[in-house]
Structure 1
Amino acid sequence: MEQTFDLVVIGTGSAGAATAQACREQNWEVAIVDSREYGGTCALRGCDPKKVLVGAAELVDRTERMIGKGLQDSVRINWPDLMAFKHTFTDYIPGAHEKKLKDAGIHTFHGHAKFVSEDTIDVDGHRLTGKHILIATGAKPAPLSVEGEQYLANSDHFLNLEQLPSPLVFVGGGYISFEFAHIAARAGAEVHILHKDEQPLKGFDPELVQELVQRSREIGIHIHLNTSLQSIEQLEGEVAADSQPSGAEQLTKGTANQARYMIRANQQDGEQGNQELRLECGLVVHGAGRVPNIMDIQLDQGKVEFGKKGVHVNEYMQSVSNPRVYAAGDCTDSPGLPLTPLASLESQVATHNLLHGNTRKPDYRAMPSIAFTIPKLGAIGMTEEEARKLGDRVTINTFDTSTWYTYKRTNEQTAMAKIIIDTSSRQILGAHLLSGEADEMLNYFAIAIRLHLTIDQMREVLYAYPTPASDLSYMLKI
């Protein structure tokens, strides 16, 4: 079967669906394809369901901090109940998402999209020819090439566990591992993180990361630095090989709580040299980075150039090698961070350029990044290392805010802020935050940097008091 469209979109996440709908509103004939449930990573198996679990973990943490300071009894997470609550946010999305697209007059397809020529893709026998094609396939866990890699769970599996196994081992020291580790630890699991380097959470301020690592260890998370995973072995006698469910089913159903694994890792110790670390656990979760999800769509057939970082795009989000093709989000090699707001920004740019010609470029200034650990870790703008190279032109204000009223009133033991200010323009160049309020506070700095506000303008604002925002005037001084 062959059909022709003005636009064919591959991927139904935040980047793909928005462009499809916007072009359809301009009476384009639009088709959209996904090999998985409609809705994309963020809504179904990423940011949104994760934040539901984080919310419960935050309540546990906040209650524990206040024991003896007005509260008497602690609370516990009931994992099956929490997961049932999470499902109320995700289960309806695929159907509702597809219905919305269909109601708009968009042709929906399920299956694996593969280029067969510069303007045509095949979807399980359906040939879809597009005047334009948008690739918005996101990212997937990076291959680790270790023995027993087939036993690795990933973020999808963790967010669908019916029971929480213990111990849990998270491979990689990025935000996925740390966020899930904090959730699992507050839910009562024994938790380990393996990270191959000295500093985890690359991209965040090292001093604040060090504070978060210390706090993580205080709540019982075992963080093994300079440690590389070597192998995963499923132990005999727990689940018979011929009776196991496979893939995601095995890792999310009750068998995940019965199966046991032995991981072996190489731990580098400066004084004692290399040592082998062995851990027996109930689940090993991949948190060691993601790669563009483009390797199975036959880009070569579409004459779409790509590399390790994704589809090669120009400043208009257009393929550098096939002008019919645009791409947005985590599947591109654009300078944008692999975050949902950046995918949405690139989608808006691609939409504009598809409809009106290449006249708009993404503005990547002020890209806020947040790790939803407990406390939260946030970053935006210039790093301290970058600022130091500018000499006297900048002031770096570093505060231990744990004694400030905002955090002391809930007995928050770990809270820091580092604000980088241009002394000549009096504008904010960067902000790095560690606290329970870091996510919302980061948004104030995003506004200031994006709109070129000075510290004087920020301090002129009358903020409600006492609120976290009312602390801004103390942070913005030269």
Structure 2
Amino acid sequence: MADQYDFDLFTIGAGSGGVRASRVSAAHGARVAVAEEYRVGGTCVIRGCVPKKMLVYGAHFAEDLEDAQQFGWTIEGKSFDWVKLRDHVQTDIDRLEGLYGETLGNHGVEVFRERAEITGPHEITLASGKVVTAKYILVATGAQPQRLEFPGSEHAITSNEAFHLDALPKRVMIAGGGYIANEFAGIFNEFGSKVCIVNRSDQLLRGYDESLRDRLLQISMMKGINFHFNTTFKSITKNDDGSLHVELDGDDDQDVDVVMFATGRSPNTGGLGLENVGVELGDKGEIKVDEFSQTNVDYIYAVGDVTDRVQLTPVAIREGQAFADSVFSDVEPYGVDHSCIASAVFSHPPIAAVGMTEGEARNKIGNIKVYTSDFRAMKNVVAGRNERSLYKMITNAATDQVVGIHMIGPESAEIMQAAAVAVKAGLTKADFDATTAIHPTLAEELVLFK
């Protein structure tokens, strides 16, 4: 590598993408350093998908304990301790952070636990004043929750703070209609909070199939979650008892204990010094990159949410791996295929999807076939829970190729992982039909569509 630089690679941001890129680059023989101003692990591990999934697990027990009675169990004196769960989750996050740090250390990556800024060509200045140089710079600083701006908006929290609440709020108002809003609505509702969602548009989860969105709305309302569509915020004022008075445009005023913003995430590009070297940004502040994650400045790359391509942790990891292999190994440079990426919403019940929605398929292909299975899971039947699952398969009518699968119901995300392989591989419905069902399971519906 180039000895005129202190490092072959300097990574700004030690989240999922940055850690993978740094670790693999070091394994390829590069001299690597990482700067992280908060905690090693990034959004996913520290204040995102990992602690959120732990809360989802905890929330599921609310219904499981109730359903258990129909399966012969007698459970007396049940109660929920938010602080106990919160602290257990944070203890495990500390453990994971330590493992991520060990991984970097074991690969010889030098970690600077401070903010870094690009101050010139191949030059990075740390918050301590230390200046280092690198042949390549990788920006992997992720994204941050967006905050609405209106009188009193400073009283609201985001998902970052939701993991650290001192007490479980009795009344929660969540702004937004995306996956974060619906996931936390389900979590707080199962824990016993009175929950309402305020959304400026008239639909939830844009980008997911309409049938699943409608089903989640029906089930969520049945569970007691209230929805205020086509509604915006006017103001928030704090009451004498510490609660919040929320004035809405399009609905009645409300008093709640917590207002949480879940209105999307913005790329973390501020204060990185990108303008000092002329890195091109998009309209949302995202770093613009090519298929190889390279910016318009040839020695600067970016991966993960900061590029706003697909804001998913596994995508950032793949991008980090591809960067490291392409730049620091002998393989032919390659990019990441961002098409046909499976995703999930850990709502109650969860949603999972891969490929095109019915609307997208009709617009792109035209002649399609749609197969659906609308059923009640056996466990729900025995428990007396009137909650129906919905599976949907979309095929190209001319070729029989499966171009989309969409599911809402128990364990949808777990089932979808295997189904996504089949859709990515371009298998046909006949291939599904030829596969013997595993009975009795929820997943068997995927090979029994009529």
Letter in 2 for 1:18: R
Tell me how far apart the structure 1 counterparts of residues 445 and 122 of structure 2 sit (CA, whole Å). 54
| Residues 73 and 412 of structure 1: CA distance in aligned 2, closer, same or farther (over 3 Å) | farther
Alpha-carbon distance, 1:398 to partner: 2.3
| Residues 358 and 117 of structure 1: CA distance in aligned 2, closer, same or farther (over 3 Å) | farther
| Residues 211 and 470 of structure 1: CA distance in aligned 2, closer, same or farther (over 3 Å) | closer
Letter in 2 for 1:41: T
Alpha-carbon distance, 1:70 to partner: 4.0
| Residues 146 and 387 of structure 1: CA distance in aligned 2, closer, same or farther (over 3 Å) | same
Match of 2:14 in 1: 12
| Residues 448 and 309 of structure 1: CA distance in aligned 2, closer, same or farther (over 3 Å) | farther
Match of 1:353 in 2: 326
Structure 1 residues 267-286: aligned runs within 5 Å:
267=250, 275=251, 277-286=252-261
Q: Is the 8 A contact 1:155 1:286 kept in 2?
A: yes
Alpha-carbon distance, 1:392 to partner: 6.3
Q: Is the 8 A contact 1:34 1:109 kept in 2?
A: yes
Tell me how far apart the structure 2 counterparts of residues 424 and 389 of structure 1 sit (CA, whole Å). 15
Letter in 1 for 2:423: I
| Residues 95 and 68 of structure 1: CA distance in aligned 2, closer, same or farther (over 3 Å) | closer
Letter in 2 for 1:84: D
| Residues 392 and 24 of structure 1: CA distance in aligned 2, closer, same or farther (over 3 Å) | closer
Match of 1:86 in 2: 89
Letter in 1 for 2:355: G
The Cα offsets for residues 210-256 of structure 1, whole Å up to 9 and x where unpaired, read as 22112112222111111112222222x34xxxxxxxxxxxxxxxxxx
Structure 1 residues 88-237: aligned runs within 5 Å:
88-124=91-127, 125-235=129-239, 237=240
Counterpart check, 1:314 vs 2:290? yes
Match of 1:57 in 2: 59
Report the TM-score when normalising by structure 1. Answer: 0.87
5+ long unaligned stretches in structure 2: none
Q: Is the 8 A contact 1:65 1:412 kept in 2?
A: no
SS state of the match for residue 233, structure 1? strand
Tell me how far apart the structure 2 counterparts of residues 157 and 392 of structure 1 sit (CA, whole Å). 45
SS state of the match for residue 121, structure 1? strand
Alpha-carbon distance, 1:65 to partner: 4.2
- How many matched pairs? 442
Tell me how far apart the structure 2 counterparts of residues 23 and 412 of structure 1 sit (CA, whole Å). 52
Q: Is the 8 A contact 2:175 2:199 kept in 1?
A: yes
Q: Is the 8 A contact 1:10 1:135 kept in 2?
A: yes
Q: Is the 8 A contact 1:171 1:195 kept in 2?
A: yes
The Cα offsets for residues 362-409 of structure 1, whole Å up to 9 and x where unpaired, read as 11232112110111112211111122235763101122122x647535
Match of 1:430 in 2: 404
| Residues 120 and 314 of structure 1: CA distance in aligned 2, closer, same or farther (over 3 Å) | same
SS state of the match for residue 92, structure 1? helix
Q: Is the 8 A contact 1:77 1:186 kept in 2?
A: no
Tell me how far apart the structure 2 counterparts of residues 10 and 126 of structure 1 sit (CA, whole Å). 15
Tell me how far apart the structure 2 counterparts of residues 329 and 390 of structure 1 sit (CA, whole Å). 28
Alpha-carbon distance, 1:80 to partner: 1.6
Tell me how far apart the structure 1 counterparts of residues 340 and 365 of structure 2 sit (CA, whole Å). 22
Letter in 2 for 1:297: L
Counterpart check, 1:338 vs 2:311? yes
Tell me how far apart the structure 2 counterparts of residues 391 and 19 of structure 1 sit (CA, whole Å). 37
1:266 aligns with one of 249, 258, 261? 249
Deviates more, 1:105-114 or 1:323-332: 105-114
SS state of the match for residue 304, structure 2? coil
Provide the alpha-carbon RMSD of the alignment: 2.2
Tell me how far apart the structure 1 counterparts of residues 367 and 194 of structure 2 sit (CA, whole Å). 47
Alpha-carbon distance, 1:32 to partner: 0.1
The Cα offsets for residues 187-206 of structure 1, whole Å up to 9 and x where unpaired, read as 11111111001001111122
Letter in 2 for 1:262: H
Alpha-carbon distance, 1:104 to partner: 2.0
